[in-house]
Structure 1
Amino acid sequence: MSQTRLSDEEIDWSAPAPAPPPAPRRRTRRIGSLEVLAALLVLLVLLRGWLAGQFTGARLQTWTTVFVSVLVQAVPFLVFGVVLSAIIAVYVPRSFWAKALPRHPALAVPAASLAGVVLPGCECGSVPIAGSLIRRGVTPAAALAFLLAAPAINPIVLTATAVAFPGRPEMVVGRGAASLVVAVAMGWLWLRVGKAEWIRLPHRPDLDGKSKFPAFWSAIRHDVMHAGGYLVMGAAAAATINVLVPGSWLQRLAENPVLSILALAVLAVLLSICSEADAFVAASLSQFSLTSRLVFLVVGPMVDLKLIAMQTGVFGRRFMLRFAPTTFAAAILVGAATGAVLL
């Protein structure tokens, strides 16, 4: 058998040489937010003596007292709610909610709102659950009503509100009633004017494709890091307001019924506190009336910065631009009207 040899003229020496096969990638363990938080807690414990000596001013001690008191009261409810929310999200079949709701959309809206009573958890968990309800065939109006009601009327949140406002059962009743009214009204409004193309169906990759316990642990890690982080920021903001803002300013603002309601409504959006802990922050704002603090409790679980971001990522920007401002206005009006009647 003869072999054909190519001359130098027949060989294209300008052609690039074939790329070598890629080297095997080494799997490196990334340091996540949970590890960073654990390291910070260890440092705080080791340096507690030195830190105590640095914070000796009267105003700083007041800040520390308010900050720690809010966290100590709120953390047990936050942890309990996150664990129960993870159990329900992982171990209760998603099809259960579609089977349990009435088929008529107008009746499914209040039924889905009341279903929030049996789902302890914060608004961080209600967004993906509402998305899964839509994927399971639940009408979007009912899923959105559930999204708004669940973080505000579940037993954990109402119990935390009762603890934060001792001797004030009307705050518990007012919060539950106003939140339920807003949720049902927004669901019926969506039935009237909502469009399917405004919603982008969601996906929850941290729970899909995992067995029960890994998915359960992943849900707990996700909710604790998100809700816990916002709780810390909210407690710090509440302590800062109590220390840095002159009392005369707050008193002047609190004395105006309209401005006090609008101010605490905007503050609820900015602080983005978990619904299982916001009652303790509201209780610390004692300069304001009970009605304005009720509006704070109604607005916070329905419209805040983290919810706006989550709703944009899960349902799309077109949905958020329509849903969030309307919910904000409805929560202020219903919360103020409820406060005028009950408080």
Structure 2
Amino acid sequence: MPASETIWLAISGIALESWNLFLEMAPYLFLGFTVAGLLHVFVPEGQIIKYLGSSAGKIRSALNATLMGIPIPLCSCGVVPTALSLQKRGATKGATLSFLISTPETGVDSIAITYALLDPIMTIFRPLATLITALSAGIAENFLGREKNTSPVTKAAEKEVEVSKNVLMIQPAATCSDSSCSCQPSLGEEKELSSKERLIDGIRYAYVELPGDISKWLLFGILVAGIISYAIPYELVETYLGGGIASMFVMLLVGIPLYICATASTPLAAALIAKGMSPGTAFVFLLAGPATNAATITMVTKFLGKRSVTIYLTTIAVCSVTFGLILDFIYFTLGIEAVSIVGSASEILPVQVKTAFALLLIPLMIYGIYKH
């Protein structure tokens, strides 16, 4: 077979695998965007900061931050300015750490895609493990760490912002490029919004800003997943990453410094499970990858201190491997082959519905990337 024909077959095969993957996730991704928009309208960032800013105790403050962070779709770098602003308004360091972990590890969009591409077990297990991980880090920080009277946040962030019930906090998250993510704490601006303006802002956030934030990395994740599905033999993944602590440590070392959002990590995990990786090993990547990256680690060290970043990374590492082992045990005990059920949850929707949502999402994602 000529080389040009071989290359063409590989490209078309990867494109087909990537399209099929996108087709499966499109309806759930659209649902996730919609719910995120509703959260943006009815639970503004300013209200989150105000609610978590009051002292609620060492355990309750971490729990509040964890529960508020789980549904919000922010990347591991974009969450930093919001979390630091939260701390400046009186939140404990533990609450800040909990928010830093729970927010990027899950979001309504990534939970929906987890259901579409993986299975109901992983869909339930993922936010539950996130909650325990974030809460553990927050409580550990509050009891073991040292609270400082002042926080080394920029002078512009020192001004207190009063947020009324009908005020939306406009707060840029971060500036991210293809090669790096630069996070700087910033102060939101007060802006009085009418009900109509809040609705328009929610629609803009759901279908322009959020797709713009994640689409570039999501498309990259889908492409890599397509390459894995087409090119990597089942036996290779099963042999070296089929399960056990060693393979989980490999995924931990890959996931901690990598910049990837919860949504983009899901198709990669699904492709690897389909190729023979144990669900627990894939889960280590799903938990550790979105929660950390090199830029976030640097920012946590700078603004919260070395003790906090040690608690932050240790908790994520220990919980990722522990929950990975627990998840493998659950599948083994139930006698479920993860390879055989991955993506089965999305089969309830007809292909016409999936195609319609895929065609609807494509221009939204392209426009979002362009505007972003």
Contact 2:83 2:99 in 1 (8 A): yes
* Structure-2 change in CA distance of 1:94 and 1:238 (3 Å): same
Change (3 A) 1:138 1:255: closer
Equivalent residue number for residue 295 of structure 1: 284
The alignment status of 1:57 with 2:8, answered yes or no, reads yes
Match of 2:117 among 164, 187, 192: 164
Secondary structure of 2:90's partner? Answer: coil
The worse-fitting range, judged by mean Cα deviation, of 129-138 and 234-243 is 234-243
Residue 142 (structure 2) pairs with residue 187 (structure 1)? no
Structure 2 residue 153 is the aligned partner of structure 1 residue 201: yes
2-structure distance, mates of 1:252, 1:122:
32
State the 1:303 CA deviation: 2.0
Cα distance, 1:63–1:269 mapped onto 2, change above 3 Å: farther
The code of the aligned residue for 2:30 comes to: P
Larger radius of gyration: 1
CA pair 112-300 structure 1, distance change in 2 beyond 3 A: same
The Cα of 1:139 is off from its aligned counterpart by: 0.8
Partner of 2:49: 94
- Supply the distance in 2 between the matched residues of 1:82 and 1:306 (Cα, whole angstroms): 25
Tell which deviates more after alignment, 242-251 or 193-202. Answer: 193-202
2:99 maps to 1:146? yes
The aligned runs of 1:78-117 (5 Å cut-off) are 79-80=33-34, 83=37, 86-87=40-41, 88-89=43-44, 92=47, 94-99=49-54, 103-117=56-70
Which of the numbers 220, 229, 239 marks the counterpart of 1:252? 239
The gaps in structure 1 that reach 5 residues or longer are 1-52
Residues in 2 aligned to 1:92 and 1:131: alpha-carbon distance in whole angstroms: 15
User: For residues 272 and 235 of structure 1, do their structure 2 counterparts lie closer, same or farther at Cα, with a shift above 3 Å needed?
Assistant: farther
- Give the residue type in structure 2 aligned to 1:132: S
Unaligned runs of 5+ in 2: 158-170, 173-185, 332-372
Paired amino acid for 2:287: V
Q: Which residue of 1 aligns with 2:215?
A: 228
Report the secondary structure of 2:290's partner residue: coil
Does 2:327 align with 1:339? yes
Return the offset for 1:179.
Answer: 1.3
Q: Which residue of structure 1 aligns with residue 293 of structure 2?
A: 304
- Give identity over the alignment, percent: 21
Q: Which has the higher contact order (CA 8 A, sep 6+)?
A: 2
Q: After superposition, give the CA deviation of every residue in 1:279-331 in whole Å (9 maximum; x if it has no partner).
A: 23211211211111222222222123464466467x37847853553244223
One-letter amino acid of the structure 1 residue matched with residue 122 of structure 2 = M
Q: Secondary structure at the match of 2:262?
A: coil
C-alpha separation between the residues in 2 aligned to 1:230 and 1:337?
A: 28
SS of residue paired to 2:30: helix
Cα distance between partner residues in 1 of 2:298 and 2:214: 14
* Separation in 2, partners of 1:145, 1:164: 27
Contact 1:84 1:121 in 2 (8 A): no
1:309-320 alignment runs, 5 A limit = 311=300, 315=303, 318=306
Deviations 1:140-186 (A, max 9, x none): 10121122123335444322211222xx3221222122211111111
Question: Structure 2 length as normaliser, TM-score?
Answer: 0.62
Q: Deviations over 1:187-229 (max 9, x none)?
A: 1221233244696436566763464679x69978775444322
